Structure 1
């Protein structure tokens, strides 16, 4: 089939691509000039504020208002805070405070910071209602387990981000909070019928639509009670039905990453991209490790689907038009001023202390290691910036007696992260508490499991400001700047 430049350009308009390095490669710059919608930056593209601002300026020169995006949720999922932890507390902490004005202010400051760095689209906030505590993909990324609370904070976050100068993107539609699997590695199941879905999962997304959210990102989940045998991203009944018709959303629908196993493991990325567009998605977020050759294969699959009559040309034009409107919305939008200290102030307000903490005697601080979530990646966490000599222990191999011996004559502080999800962590901490019931436990994930101890501190997140807030409560002797 001979090349059709117009069709290629329409296909390009559906692509949000990653790339390999701190500098934009030629294939990305040429792709943007040829109509590619934009890029999504990850840890491997961001070294420091000066570098990423230069990179984004270079990208912006390649086309008129390309979408320059990232996943910046604050708290555990941060790209700009990858090296030292986030200066914002994350959604679970904001939900614990439950002050919608504060959530709006935090996200306005975050949006302003992103705009100042040259970003135009933030793939946030998470609008998922986290009703399953063991959920491996959401957890502290959610504002909470109550649909009404999540809805009001989702609306506040959307408003704040867009006041800050970037387009917001509520995710993961129609709701990833009731899953026990991670869609990065498999296809999770949500056991919810239509009535429950509207009452719980869809409530925050309706709030986002009413708040004027510019984009919504789909979830690679299966809803068997709605008759879905495959992922929601590829289902017209979800994208064109629930989202467009029932919720009345007219903005840009973005897929979660096409490289994720939950959507493409069985059919491959090119076919998943085609089916997502047929379902009604407008913009294909490809993921982190999808580069030039794979991008070309996806583009070719889209144009071939049009030529074969599987994907209507009008549907492709509609998707390109919606993406163009999103780009137009972001063009020239000024950044508001970021609020100095709002991230730390909100993290401080989220900290909860259960028990009698009192003054500590030269505490020994040990952190029980926990695997990083796939969405978050490897980001520093814990209390070591404020307590010199802090040790990180592997819960599977740590010996309780050695920990107790090292803390002889001093107070002991044990730091955990989502202990309810890790049996070996619970076993180790329970034994330490049995022998030293006066020790202090700091939980930097969701405080679902509460051991028997002198005091239990909950931060509702592992961002840098969450850690600083806990350190202050513990009377940390060392000050550390928040990156």
Structure 2
């Protein structure tokens, strides 16, 4: 016996699916006609602007008010520019500059580009306060470590995006910035009292709610004081009591991807995770990136089954689907808001973010060495570094833990060395290689990750870009006098 059509449609109205490739498959469009709330676009769905616009138009042939979402944070997390790197600096750079009007302009420009392509929801900004230098998943995606600064820039980002007609989704509630593990791989824990959470992690969320953010994304993190043994995504105390009750949020609660191990393992699969998230108060469920028609139908069926056995109240799922529909209605009403985008806006901003400790001397045709760093799942394999911006300057790429400093000295000869990396303080073999090399050779270091307190001894200069986007790379090359 098939699913009750009305209940199936109700369940589909709470789901945000995805598909592979640059052309939406028939099932992705057909499910929208059947009531699916929408799709999230990933790098695999993006080739060029014309192709993306054609894809969003094809999806809307299934239903005109379909939600089409994307993670376009700027900086290190970009889908539109995954092949080259973002032309905008990320949040850490914007926070370092400290100009909230600039942050609003950057996010308005990002929103204008999304709107022109038919994308209606940006799963951004990241408003977590990055209070842990070793945070492996937030880092430069955060506006900084100061709650008040992060709050001010978060509100500006939401205002900028939504002024362009694109709904903002502030993430990751109640705050992912203090974690030292990645929720894509496991369930991180933030074991702090509520008083500290209110002082450190929650002010940016209060700010985005006040700024009118249309959506807030949940975090797959465990906060024992709030969530007990499970993640925030499954916690009614977090999503209803705190977010809606205490902070007065009336928009759409969107989950982080339920395929992530921080949620899926805790629940026993994507379907059970969907049921638990809905019961806790979530409205729109991101299934993940690796999605096909079978998975969507299975999740919908498990939601219908939970409705039948009383695990889920019909009124709760109707409320969730209603909030997802309200988000879609807002995006349609916002319409296309024309905006002129300055192509140099992001590059000019990235230049303002660069900080130099020391003296930039002896950089006539140096050897540029990029230290390999693994990308997070959130970032994906997006190009980074100085390479695309160098004017005839030789560059090599090495793995720090597998490279001897004497080898680099031999390659450089009488030229100085510029070492480029991300999160160098925790890169295996990185601090040791830099320290040994600087003791015997002129070295300049370019840090393109989260700037920790660590500084190597003996280097000529330590340059911080607060991110590794295409814009950050060009800015660093220009400051070093190496740009073409």
TM-score (norm 2): 0.97
Distance 1:93 1:131 in 2: 16
Q: Is the 8 A contact 2:126 2:142 kept in 1?
A: yes
1:461 aligns with 2:467: yes
Query: C-alpha deviations, 1:117-148, integer Å up to 9, x for none?
Result: 11100000001000011011100000001100
RMSD: 1.1
1:41 aligns with 2:44: no
Match of residue 421 from structure 2: 416
TM-score (norm 1): 0.97
Task: Give 1:60-459 correspondences, 5 Å limit.
Answer: 60-226=60-226, 228-266=228-266, 267-331=268-332, 333-335=335-337, 336-358=339-361, 360-387=363-390, 388=392, 389-436=394-441, 438-448=442-452, 449-452=454-457, 453-459=459-465
Match of residue 472 from structure 1: 478
Q: Is the 8 A contact 2:362 2:416 kept in 1?
A: no
Q: Is the 8 A contact 1:259 1:290 kept in 2?
A: no
Moved more, 370-379 or 290-299: 290-299
Q: Is the 8 A contact 1:164 1:337 kept in 2?
A: no
Q: Is the 8 A contact 1:351 1:460 kept in 2?
A: yes
Distance 1:395 1:422 in 2: 8
SS of the residue corresponding to residue 140 of structure 2 reads helix
SS of the residue corresponding to residue 118 of structure 2 reads coil
Q: Is the 8 A contact 1:104 1:157 kept in 2?
A: yes
Distance 2:351 2:228 in 1: 43
SS of the residue corresponding to residue 172 of structure 1 reads strand
Distance 2:31 2:262 in 1: 27
Distance 1:93 1:190 in 2: 25
- Superposed structure 1 runs of 4+ greater than 6 Å apart: none
SS of the residue corresponding to residue 136 of structure 1 reads coil
SS of the residue corresponding to residue 388 of structure 2 reads coil
Q: Is the 8 A contact 2:401 2:428 kept in 1?
A: no
Q: Is the 8 A contact 2:74 2:87 kept in 1?
A: yes
Q: Is the 8 A contact 2:126 2:170 kept in 1?
A: yes
Query: C-alpha deviations, 1:7-34, integer Å up to 9, x for none?
Result: 1111011010010111111111000001
Unaligned segments of structure 2, at least 5 residues: none
Moved more, 26-35 or 398-407: 398-407
Moved more, 469-478 or 172-181: 469-478
Distance 2:21 2:470 in 1: 25
Q: Is the 8 A contact 2:105 2:160 kept in 1?
A: yes
Distance change >3 Å, CA 375–CA 415, structure 1 → 2? same
Moved more, 194-203 or 278-287: 194-203
Q: Is the 8 A contact 2:123 2:168 kept in 1?
A: yes
Unaligned segments of structure 1, at least 5 residues: 479-483
Query: C-alpha deviations, 1:272-304, integer Å up to 9, x for none?
Result: 100000000000001111221111110000011
Distance 1:359 1:423 in 2: 28
1:326 offset after TM fit, Å? 0.3
1:416 offset after TM fit, Å? 1.1
Moved more, 324-333 or 69-78: 324-333
Distance 1:80 1:347 in 2: 18
1:477 offset after TM fit, Å? 4.6
Query: C-alpha deviations, 1:333-358, integer Å up to 9, x for none?
Result: 11333233111111010000110113
